[in-house]
Structure 1
Amino acid sequence: MIIDAQGLAVTSTRPDFSVQLRTELDRFIDQALYYGNQAETAILQVLALDPTCAIAQAYAAAYYLSQETAIARQTAMHHLKVAERYAATATEREQWYIRAISAWAGGAISEAIDLHEAIAENYPQDLISVQQGQYHYFYRGESDPLLKIAEKVLPANADNPHLHYLYGMIAFGLEQCGDLDRAMQTGLQAIALNRFDPWAQHAIAHILEEQNRPEDGILWMESHSDTWEQCNSMLYTHNWWHVALYYLALGNHQKVLELYDQKVWGRANPSSSKDQVGAIATLLRLEVQGVDVGKRWQALAPHLGSRLHEHALPFQDLHYIYALARAGYTDWVNEFLQSLTSHAQQLPATSQFTWLQIVLPVAKGLIAYTQQDWSTTVSAMQPRLSYLHTVGGSRTQQKMFGQIYQQAVLRNQSGKVRQLWRTVKAG
């Protein structure tokens, strides 16, 4: 048994490596909370020292599951099976966490959330579990519990060396709930404790975007961009995506294209699902503003071939199918739609509504948008706008769907006016 940096017991059968295990385990915890690019290295080092450490195996499984790709999932399942093999001798907290990751892997997200909530109640120092709970709430579009799971553990973490990470989680939750003043105050508390906290910086980026302060957003994010060099590609590219959105709001399209080429897609892991989503969202928003993005869709789309049958997250699928349609990959679009339909029909009833009644018709509306079939886009999206938050994503990310719908409405109306004018002239 060793005690990690958060004061939590970790079951280990290798007392001879206890110092090294503690060092690598603490490094993993910090890297995971920081979204660092050494998280994988750290957890694999823990497992090299003690492959029987059940919670470390579960941490590895969660790391790979969070990549939301079929290939990473295979690796995750290997680690999860090992975690379950050694779970019997683990502590209660470790067993709950392993069960939560197992539920996630099985698609039982509500069960996973219940277990993370139980950990938050009984072992509030476990910020890795809190972070995981927020992840699930985020991709279900549930902002209020995303905030509350972090707020509830705050009183028990006054002496936690990772307190600033918790402030960042709370700040993001407050912003997602629309409490911008408290979100800003809490985000700044995090940065005051540790300037190298990219998630807290990210929370403030959201606040400034919501407040329509692009100049301040650029100043804030660019002045902290030196701290992102050790982030994983997801948060590195995502934080630069926020910078690009500020320049887009100012109408500086050339700067946005430069950031896309140099920071958003230029520094992406091209096989990363989340990096792909950020790149797609950038190009889409540029085109909604009438910007010619050249051959960038054609350069991006080939990397989406492995996404056709994954259907890990509805939020991701809507991005993928738009990009494929926009790049003219008709065969892949048709294959994607068939696979998406089959996937939705095979889901449990509790999940079918989101996939069948929201994702599938909106996907068809997005395809229609790329074909300039404005009326089909409007009819597909309009009844589902009030439900789109359930596919996940932040308030900022969700705005993209509203922009597409509004553009389709305007262009559909303009087309009707032109047709009416032609009819009048002909008469």
Structure 2
Amino acid sequence: MDDAKTTATRVDRWGYQLRTSSDACVVAIDAYYDQVLSYGRNRAIILDAPANDPACVLGNALAAHFLCSKDLPKASSLLVSAAAALKNATSYEKAVYEAIILLVGDGRDEEEALSRHFEALPHNQGQSFIYGMLAFPLLELGRMAEAKSVARRGWEINRFDIWSQHCLCHVLQYECHFNEAVEFMESCSSTWRSCSSFMYTHNWWHVAVCYLEGNAPLRKVLKVYDEQIWKELQRNYSDRAEVFVNALGLLLQLDVRDQMDVMKDRLLLAAETLKDKSMWHVEWLLDILSLWTLARAKESLKAEELLNSIKSRNSFLKKQNVMQRATQLAEATYEYGRGNHHKVVDILGPDFDAIDFKMIGASDEQLDVFNEIWYNVLLNTGNASKAIDLIEKQLKKRVGCPYLWRLLEKAYGIAGKGDAAMAAEKAKALEISYFN
């Protein structure tokens, strides 16, 4: 029998064994490794693996992981195909399958998935990618010192490693080293052109947010939005939904800081695109940002239609109780976009903290804006004391953030506290220390 038609043990580019009847399947898997590790523009190449061998566990599992945020039914079908062939799989294939199940299956467990990542570390001491990829879950678990050390190790091995660059920026941003973060990322930016549109614009989103948080001239923020984010949407529509997460996230940051006047035209242009339902339900964070955009642009009918669609879809999800909270945040963001701040308070309740909403697929930095919304809503609805408590707590972690000090100044003023002048002085000192 022709060997190309016979299931055999082959090896991937790392020397790991897999069972497949197709050389083309292995080629697709190897190409996918390259695309993932460089966050390249052609990750869809992995779909060629199950197309060439529907019984390959590794090909099915990796394709399922690629599709899980784009086409969940198809991803689930691929995982079923992988499971059906597990008895003939190699130990490596089984390990990959089990790790992916922990990330996208019904028994999702990020902590356990991270522990499996650590198990791979001794075998990849000289590879930059393993450090960059490990740094990100460490960030999301709040283990900043470890994340910084690991990301820096990856960057020292390979200064072109996108994940190491990205994670180092996360740490610098969290530490309120905005000047350093911008300088570092702009020095790396020449290496981003081969990235996917999402990663390219996400890196620039970080730069823009650091400019914004560091009180840089607004023109610098808008230049990043116009030249690096919005223009990328015109160049490449293959992953435009993911790019819109960066565009809308930045617009929301500007709106929270009362900059609607300078970005109104940009908001209206984005809202016009979001009327297209093909942009809906790609991922939770995009839906929530889209609700705010449509509501803020006074596209009321479309905003209501999207919100109702989100509620309807949620009723069919297996993890209904968990995702009900995501729907709650969606509805609150919609009401915020409409200017109904009292309704936002009613929806979110007294104990809201955006860090509890990671189920929408957002990083800590992407979630920060929802806490900033919450502080403003509390101040605008007569809950200054509650806002003061929360802002002071946040400042213990991010003492170098001038915007938080400005919010605290406002809160103290509303509450009639004499500490408002102190907060204003602290904010001003920070504002002149960055980008000047």
Question: Same fold judged by TM-score > 0.5?
Answer: yes
Work out which of the residue numbers 105, 111, 115 in structure 2 matches 1:109. Answer: 105
Q: How has the CA–CA distance of structure 1 residues 331 and 96 changed in structure 2, closer, same or farther, with 3 Å as cutoff?
A: farther
Count of matched residue positions in the alignment of Structure 1 and Structure 2: 370
Q: Secondary structure at the match of 1:294?
A: helix
**Does the aligned pair in 2 maintain the 1:308–1:339 contact within 8 Å?**
no
> What residue number does 1:125 align with?
none
Alignment of 1:266-305 (within 5 A): 266-268=231-233, 269-270=236-237, 272-291=240-259, 292=261, 293-305=263-275
1:200 equivalenced with 2:164 (yes/no)? yes
Deviations 1:233-290 (A, max 9, x none): 1111111100111111133221111111111232134553321111111000011111
- Asked if structure 1 preserves the Cα contact closer than 8 Å seen for 2:154 and 2:164, the reply is yes
Distance 1:300 1:74, change over 3 A: farther
Distance 1:28 1:390, change over 3 A: closer
1:228-377 correspondence runs (5 A): 228-251=192-215, 252-268=217-233, 269-270=236-237, 272-291=240-259, 292=261, 293-305=263-275, 307=277, 311=281, 313-348=283-318, 351-356=319-324, 358-377=325-344
- Contact 1:308 / 1:336 at 8 angstroms: preserved in 2? no
Task: State the TM-score, normalized to the length of structure 2.
Answer: 0.74
8 Å CA contact retained: 1:354, 1:391: no
Alpha-carbon shift at residue 88 of structure 1 (Å): 6.0
Task: Output the TM-score relative to the length of structure 1.
Answer: 0.75
* Pair 1:393-2:356 in alignment: no
With over 3 angstroms needed to count, the CA separation of the structure-2 counterparts of 1:407 and 1:90, relative to structure 1, is same
| Match 1:55 to one of 55, 58, 62 | 58
Aligned to 2:34: 30
CA contact 1:253–1:286 (8 Å) conserved in 2: no
Q: Does 1:65 align with 2:73?
A: no
Q: CA deviation at 1:318?
A: 1.8
CA RMSD of aligned residues (A): 3.3
Conservation of the 8 A alpha-carbon contact between 1:146 and 1:173 = no
Q: Is the Cα contact below 8 Å between 2:241 and 2:279 reproduced in 1?
A: no
The whole-number CA distance in structure 1 between the counterparts of 2:281 and 2:26 is 37
C-alpha distance in structure 2 between counterparts of 1:177 and 1:52, whole Å: 36
Change (3 A) 1:178 1:50: closer
SS at match of 2:352: helix
Q: CA deviation at 1:63?
A: 2.0
Q: 1:382 to 1:253 in 2, by over 3 A?
A: farther
In structure 1, how many angstroms separate the alpha carbons of the residues matched to 2:366 and 2:113? 16
Pick which of 243-252 and 213-222 moved more: 243-252
1:24 to 1:366, Cα distance in 2 relative to 1, 3 A: closer
1:9 corresponds to: 17
**SS of the residue 1:2 aligns to:** strand
Asked whether the equivalents of residues 44 and 60 of structure 1 are also in contact (C-alpha less than 8 Å), the reply is yes
CA distance, structure 1, for counterparts of residue 92 and residue 159 of structure 2 = 31
Counterpart residue identity of residue 109, structure 1 = G
Task: Compare relative contact order (CA 8 Å, sep 6+) and give the higher one, 1 or 2.
Answer: 1
Q: Which moved more, 1:74-83 or 1:261-270?
A: 74-83
Partners of 1:57 and 1:373 in 2: CA distance: 46
**How far apart are residue 303 of structure 1 and its match?**
3.2
- Provide the rounded CA distance (Å) in 2 between the counterparts of 1:45 and 1:392: 27
Decide whether the 8 Å contact of 2:293 with 2:337 is kept in 1. Answer: no
Structure 2: give runs of 5+ residues left out of the alignment. 1-8, 385-409, 415-436
| Amino acid aligned to 2:369 | M
SS of the residue corresponding to residue 346 of structure 1 reads: coil
Give structure 1 stretches of 5+ with no counterpart: 115-136, 138-143, 422-427
Q: 1:220 to 1:392 in 2, by over 3 A?
A: same
**Sequence identity, in percent?**
29
Tell me how far 1:154 sits from its aligned partner: 1.6
**Greater Cα offset, 57-66 or 400-409:** 57-66
